[in-house]
Chain A
């Protein structure tokens, strides 16, 4: 176990779990909030819901980033997922305004 664990890998895991999860959750709040508002949910209800869930989501992705076997998959899902969701949210907000 120790042999397969280089310093770099640990560092990359920690970055993925802390920063990658943050990016992913940011995307979730943006896309979740924008879609719920677009679907007709009241603004405060929508923003409350997604920001409360964001912390539980962060908890989940943070742990997952350590459990998952493939570090590439972790980075792919968290960073790309976060970016795509944020982009989609921006697009929805533009359509609605």
Chain B
């Protein structure tokens, strides 16, 4: 199709990078925020600004709270109702109880898995969850949205498009195209190592943009590649559901053998049974870890085949001290006897668990956490400079020919680069402004996000005709100024509505809230500098003239 190998890859890089780049911006921006999801949760739920807590007592707190979760989330139930072959019964049967916590969680997420009868999918399960204060078991209000783990985190891998997992597929394809863009980007540029050290900010926009695109791409190349790849691997079962669909006999056989080997039944017995003290099992597990020289807290606890005589309890150590997630201890529910201990993972599973654990980073290592955050921002910078280069290279030619390509791309770039920050900050501001008692408060917050993002798109489209004339769209600078206002407003509103101003949080060393405030201010400061630079550029007629000449040479 093309004259040579490099031209083919250049075409791939340009067009797939551009079209999926908008999705990648969302994935990497909200992925970066997800590095601090628990901290953003604390900022957005002032009631939960307490120190992280260990897994509470099962017998006195968790058991009764699990029993309160009697049905799955309405959304999940409605989705399941569409895929079953016979109408869903009014009350679904609970199959598993699960509780998960990490060294950064002051609140505990508890969720119950319900069996979906008459489903074409094997092991089809829907979930209902609550969040409790582990100190006293108080159930937190359901309509309060944890902005970090409840909104930004799922946004980065699903775009909140739940219909047939479409969001996962879009993000997955975008991640694949990230890998393609990295490979083609490296092949396109023959001076790979020189680009490590090349940034000429004083040069004209087109040249500096390309320098920065290459620099951010090359410097963080392993990060870009491994995070896109590990993100895909985490959802491999969604992207390649090969075994469950076309190799079912092998799966059945494996399940059967595994149940024989481990003593953990794959199916519920159907005979009612009672649970022995799970607190005693947790004690056994902790003593066991301590005797192995790896003392720790319970990170994940799950009861399978709830209410059946063959129920079993699985207890996992938290992941504070390592990358890969842990092996579990499994207890017979009725007696508390240890049935099985997961053996150390095989070499391939170890690699898989490492890649997954690296992406999900539940370990306790703040330097690494910040480096991963920086890696995510470098990915964003690399993608954003790609957009700008695309527009700058073409806008004068397109302007002469009256083509709208560069104009549309510029408007979408504004929406996904500055617009995404505006919408995020607006959501934080609304989180502090909406009345505390407001019913379905979380829905209003989500609405605020989407409306603000749509507004940035409309604003960018309204300002875009400037690009059609070969000029710079004013939307960039204007949205930067909105970021300055919103960032400062969010910090001020947090101080006003909760009393946790920076003086207090920094003084007390309460980093979850202080950190979010400082990042908001840093973003506002960066946006202020960007807005000033953009205004200087727009006011200097020579830059436009020179960039026309340069674009003609390029």
Task: Name the contact of B179 in the complex, choosing from A26, A59, A97 (C-beta under 8 A).
Answer: A59
Contact assessment for A48 and B348 in the assembled complex, using a CB-CB cutoff below 8 Å: yes
Contact assessment for B180 and A89 in the assembled complex, using a CB-CB cutoff below 8 Å: no
29 inter-chain pairs at a CB distance below 8 angstroms, sorted by A residue, are A25-B240, A26-B242, A29-B240, A29-B242, A30-B246, A33-B242, A33-B250, A37-B250, A45-B346, A52-B236, A52-B351, A52-B352, A54-B236, A55-B176, A55-B179, A55-B239, A58-B176, A63-B9, A63-B184, A66-B1, A66-B8, A66-B9, A67-B8, A67-B9, A71-B1, A86-B246, A93-B248, A93-B249, A97-B249
Interface size class of A (residues with CB under 8 A): 35 or more
Min CB distance, B167 to chain A, in Å? Answer: 18
Contact assessment for B1 and A93 in the assembled complex, using a CB-CB cutoff below 8 Å: no
Q: Is A10 an interface residue (CB 8 A)?
A: yes
Contact assessment for A1 and B3 in the assembled complex, using a CB-CB cutoff below 8 Å: yes
Task: Name the contact of A48 in the complex, choosing from B1, B247, B352 (C-beta under 8 A).
Answer: B352
Chain B hits for A55, CB < 8 A: 176, 179, 229, 232-233, 236, 239
Interface 1/0 per residue, B352-376 and A, CB below 8 Å: 1001000000000000000000000
* Chain A minimum-CB-distance residue to B175: A55
Contact assessment for A66 and B11 in the assembled complex, using a CB-CB cutoff below 8 Å: yes
Contact assessment for B246 and A59 in the assembled complex, using a CB-CB cutoff below 8 Å: no
Q: Is A49 an interface residue (CB 8 A)?
A: yes
Question: Interface residue count for B (Cβ, 8 Å)?
Answer: 40
Using A25-B240, A48-B349, A55-B232 as known contacts, say yes or no to A67 and B5 having CB atoms under 8 A apart.
yes
Q: Is B253 an interface residue (CB 8 A)?
A: yes
| Main DSSP-derived SS at the A contact region | helix
Q: For the complex, what is the distance from the CA of A18 to the CA of B177, rounded to whole Å?
A: 10
Q: For the complex, what is the distance from the CA of A5 to the CA of B1, rounded to whole Å?
A: 6
* Chain B minimum-CB-distance residue to A56: B229
Task: Name the contact of A93 in the complex, choosing from B173, B176, B250, B348 (C-beta under 8 A).
Answer: B250
Contact assessment for A49 and B233 in the assembled complex, using a CB-CB cutoff below 8 Å: no
Chain A hits for B219, CB < 8 A: none
Q: Is B121 an interface residue (CB 8 A)?
A: no
Contact assessment for B180 and A62 in the assembled complex, using a CB-CB cutoff below 8 Å: yes
Chain A hits for B252, CB < 8 A: 97
User: Which residues of A are at the interface with B, using a C-beta cutoff of 8 A?
Assistant: 1, 4-5, 9-10, 13, 18, 25-26, 29-30, 33-34, 37, 42-45, 47-49, 51-52, 54-56, 58-59, 62-63, 66-67, 71, 86, 89-90, 93-94, 96-97
Contact assessment for B253 and A96 in the assembled complex, using a CB-CB cutoff below 8 Å: yes
Chain B hits for A43, CB < 8 A: 250, 254, 258
Chain A hits for B236, CB < 8 A: 51-52, 54-55
Q: For the complex, what is the distance from the CA of A56 to the CA of B246, rounded to whole Å?
A: 22
Q: For the complex, what is the distance from the CA of A58 to the CA of B246, rounded to whole Å?
A: 19
Q: Is B183 an interface residue (CB 8 A)?
A: yes
Chain B hits for A33, CB < 8 A: 242-243, 247, 250
By Cβ-Cβ distance, the 8 closest A-B pairs, closest first, are: A97-B249, A51-B236, A43-B254, A29-B242, A48-B352, A1-B3, A45-B348, A45-B346
Q: For the complex, what is the distance from the CA of A4 to the CA of B232, rounded to whole Å?
A: 35
Q: For the complex, what is the distance from the CA of A9 to the CA of B11, rounded to whole Å?
A: 14
Task: Name the contact of B240 in the complex, choosing from A37, A45, A51, A59 (C-beta under 8 A).
Answer: A51
Min CB distance, A58 to chain B, in Å? Answer: 6
Using A43-B254, A52-B236 as known contacts, say yes or no to A89 and B247 having CB atoms under 8 A apart.
yes
Contact assessment for A93 and B232 in the assembled complex, using a CB-CB cutoff below 8 Å: no
Chain A hits for B352, CB < 8 A: 48, 52
Chain B, 166-212, CB within 8 A of any chain A CB: 173, 176, 179-180, 183-184
Q: Is B2 an interface residue (CB 8 A)?
A: yes
Chain B hits for A47, CB < 8 A: 243
Q: For the complex, what is the distance from the CA of A59 to the CA of B349, rounded to whole Å?
A: 22
Q: For the complex, what is the distance from the CA of A54 to the CA of B179, rounded to whole Å?
A: 13
Q: Is B496 an interface residue (CB 8 A)?
A: no
Chain B, 262-287, CB within 8 A of any chain A CB: none
Contact assessment for B346 and A51 in the assembled complex, using a CB-CB cutoff below 8 Å: no
Q: For the complex, what is the distance from the CA of A64 to the CA of B243, rounded to whole Å?
A: 27
Task: Name the contact of B1 in the complex, choosing from A4, A51, A58, A86 (C-beta under 8 A).
Answer: A4
Q: For the complex, what is the distance from the CA of A43 to the CA of B217, rounded to whole Å?
A: 37
Interface 1/0 per residue, B110-136 and A, CB below 8 Å: 000000000000000000000000000
* Chain A minimum-CB-distance residue to B255: A43
In this complex, which of A18, A71, A93 has the most chain B Cβ atoms within 10 angstroms of its Cβ?
A: A93
Min CB distance, B388 to chain A, in Å? Answer: 25
Contact assessment for B2 and A5 in the assembled complex, using a CB-CB cutoff below 8 Å: yes
Contact assessment for A96 and B8 in the assembled complex, using a CB-CB cutoff below 8 Å: no
Q: For the complex, what is the distance from the CA of A7 to the CA of B250, rounded to whole Å?
A: 44
Chain A hits for B458, CB < 8 A: none
Q: For the complex, what is the distance from the CA of A62 to the CA of B347, rounded to whole Å?
A: 28
Chain B hits for A71, CB < 8 A: 1
Min CB distance, A77 to chain B, in Å? Answer: 16
* Chain A minimum-CB-distance residue to B182: A59
Q: Is B516 an interface residue (CB 8 A)?
A: no
Q: For the complex, what is the distance from the CA of A45 to the CA of B254, rounded to whole Å?
A: 12
Chain A hits for B180, CB < 8 A: 59, 62-63
Chain A hits for B2, CB < 8 A: 1, 5, 66
Chain B hits for A48, CB < 8 A: 348-349, 351-352
Q: Is B63 an interface residue (CB 8 A)?
A: no
Contact assessment for A97 and B246 in the assembled complex, using a CB-CB cutoff below 8 Å: no
* Chain A minimum-CB-distance residue to B233: A52
Contact assessment for B246 and A90 in the assembled complex, using a CB-CB cutoff below 8 Å: yes
Chain B, 1-25, CB within 8 A of any chain A CB: 1-3, 5, 7-9, 11-12
Task: Name the contact of A96 in the complex, choosing from B9, B237, B250 (C-beta under 8 A).
Answer: B250
Min CB distance, A9 to chain B, in Å? Answer: 6
Chain B hits for A58, CB < 8 A: 176
Q: For the complex, what is the distance from the CA of A45 to the CA of B237, rounded to whole Å?
A: 14
Contact assessment for A54 and B246 in the assembled complex, using a CB-CB cutoff below 8 Å: no
